Amino acid sequence: MCGIFGVYNYYGDVGEFRQRALDLSKKLRHRGPDWSGCIVADNNIVCHERLAIVGVDTGAQPLTNADESIVLTVNGEIYNHKKLEAELKQPASFKTHSDCEVILHMYSEIGTDVCAKLDGMFSWALLDRRSAKSRLVAARDPIGITTLYIGRVSAHPETVFIASELKSLNEECDQIDEFPPGHYFDSEDGQFHRYFKPDWWAPERIATAPVDYRQLRESLTAAVRKRLMAEVPYGVLLSGGLDSSLISSIAVREAARISASAQSDTEDIDTRGARYFPRMHSFSIGLPGAPDLIAARKVAKFLRTAHHELTYTVQEGLDAVADVIYHLETYDVTTIRASTPMYLMSRKIKSTGVKMVLSGEGADEVFGGYLYFHYAPNADDFHKETVNRVHNLHTSDCLRANKSTMAWGLEARVPFLDKEFLQVAMNVRAEDKQCSKDLMEKAIIRRAFDVEFADAGFTPEELAKGPYLPHDVLWRQKEQFSDGVGYSWIDSLKEWAERRVSDEAMAAVDQRFPYDTPSTKEAYLYRELFEQHFPQKACLKSVVRWVPRTDWGCSADPSGRAQKIHDKAY
């Protein structure tokens, strides 16, 4: 991934603004420490801060076509770039080995229809100069795995600002919106257009397909396999919970399978990563003695990964919170709780030379894995909640995974949010996904990879390879990341906020924060730190707070331990 910044139809002297644009783009350099680029064309500016993962030797951006009439800046990865290159009808002169350059050539042939053809995670801005008035087209991936914002100056509504993060816009724009996932923006009509239209997207459409465990397993395996595309050292984030452990297990198997097979130029996916770096590195973090560290150690030993166990102290975590809020650009309680250890871990991972990791975000939303799903009134409500949770991933877990890692120039890829896997998983009826007091959450995906489960449809060849994970890990109860790093972590954050926010301040909270008023001292403190970095009112619009379904009888505290079903509940 990278950082992108652009200004379309600038209202002043674009030559004079160039240095200011470079300064604003520089605020994103943590996302792209490897190189920088800037193109000024007419009254438009396109900037790029590069993190080199694929096309390391030649992939500098912004990208241009042969006559430089089309300019493109991209943040992300296009996993089906080889397939798309083969679909081009006209001969194209590729200037780089980047997986993203195909966007430019596909757009040249089919225009905005290119958006729906892309399989990957991406945010991009394209300047089309082939007509008298330049055209801006910008797009964001279907679920919002990458981050993107659009800004305007109310006195000059014809000008559009685009950036990967809020911090490049808040000093220039008095109107800032999060760019909606699954949409593209077209300057020709000034509108957003939805291009991602899967049949499962509407919450009111109830899924009816019975589970096919083999199809579920194969589609997730394919999602992991395509994400091994890299030309740099990579690894897996391994908390020891089901989601990260399962992704790690599949990645180890697929990397071994690719590296053992003959090189094939006919394969649709890019397999260079597994061929260059077949030994899988795994990373876990926690306070000393944390539940996740113990579980991750067991999984790493089982998978024979090169395991890195990282620890931090409570004080180190507290000291990092202000920086975490600056990078995350949110004051949401549960996001900050979980992002702080992830932020600290990402810094240590980057120091090892690893630049890309696979992670397990998305499974809890897709399969109803959060413990509050146990309280769903019925199957229809359960299904609607999973769809709504996927809709909002870009405001919580995707935001956390992207910005916590990219704060240190580390890229996180999330196979559970592969659009082909989602097409399978989100169409499975809720009756097959639901949990109960007698059935653990996410049993459907556990069974799909449980070699002891007769209905999983394993072939004799697959069974011969043995289990994907130790049984007690495959069937480990859901442990939210902010709990699993050590139960004292959340307790310490609450105690810290109790010391920092007085009773008098809390009593007047609605006067201090009349908009989206915090309800706890912890939330008050995070909001205060957020506004130190982002005092502009425009910055509040993109923040969404994660709250469980209290109308189902759940605790309002987002911690998994706050739910009575947790083995070690408060």
Kind and range of the H or E element at 150? strand 149-153
CA geometry: angle at 407 spanning 543 and 306, to 5°? 125
Asked if 346 and 410 count as a contact pair (C-beta separation under 8 A), the reply is yes
pLDDT of residue 359: 97
Residue-wise pLDDT tens digits, 240-298: 999 999 999 999 999 998 888 765 544 677 776 666 666 799 999 999 999 899 999 99
Mark the ranges of the chain whose per-residue pLDDT is less than 70: 262-267, 272-278, 479-480, 482, 558-570
Burial (0-12, 13-18, 19+ Cβ within 10 Å), 533: middle
Provide the 3-class DSSP secondary structure of residue 8: strand
Q: Peptide bond before 157: cis, by omega within 30 degrees of 0?
A: no
Asked if 112 and 137 count as a contact pair (C-beta separation under 8 A), the reply is yes
Instruction: Say what the pTM is.
Output: 0.94
> Hunting for tokens 């909002």 — which residue is that?
392
pLDDT of residue 487: 84
Give whole-number Cα distances, 562 to 9, 370, 417, 519, in Å. 50, 11, 27, 16
Kind and range of the H or E element at 285? strand 281-286
* Binding-site residue ranges: 99, 237, 285, 359-360
* Binding-site residue ranges for L-glutamine: 99
pLDDT of residue 295: 93
pLDDT of residue 55: 77
Q: How far apart are CA 416 and CA 464, in angstroms?
A: 26
Q: How far apart are CA 210 and CA 525, in angstroms?
A: 46
The 3-class secondary structure across 94-147, one letter per residue, is CCCCCCCHHHHHHHHHHHHHHHHHCCEEEEEEEEECCCCCCEEEEEECCCCCCC
Residue partners of 279: CB distance under 8 A and separation at least 6: 305, 306
Asked if 529 and 543 count as a contact pair (C-beta separation under 8 A), the reply is no
User: Would you say the C-alpha torsion 542, 548, 551, 556 has a positive or negative sign?
Assistant: negative
Write the DSSP assignment of 510-528 as a string of letters. HHH--SS---SHHHHHHHH
pLDDT of residue 561: 59
Residue partners of 554: CB distance under 8 A and separation at least 6: 372, 375, 548, 562, 563
Give the residue from 530, 535, 146, 513 showing the smallest Cα distance to 333.
530
List active site positions: 2
Q: How far apart are CA 66 and CA 387, in angstroms?
A: 43
pLDDT of residue 262: 63
Give whole-number Cα distances, 120 to 28, 140, 227, 229, in Å. 21, 10, 9, 11
Count of residues making up the chain: 570
Q: How far apart are CA 74 and CA 106, in angstroms?
A: 14
* Binding-site residue ranges for ATP: 237, 285, 359-360
Q: DSSP strand E in 165-222: where? A: 175-178, 183-186, 191-194
pLDDT of residue 303: 97
For the chain, which domains are there?
3-194 (3.60.20.10), 219-486 (3.40.50.620), 504-562 (no CATH)
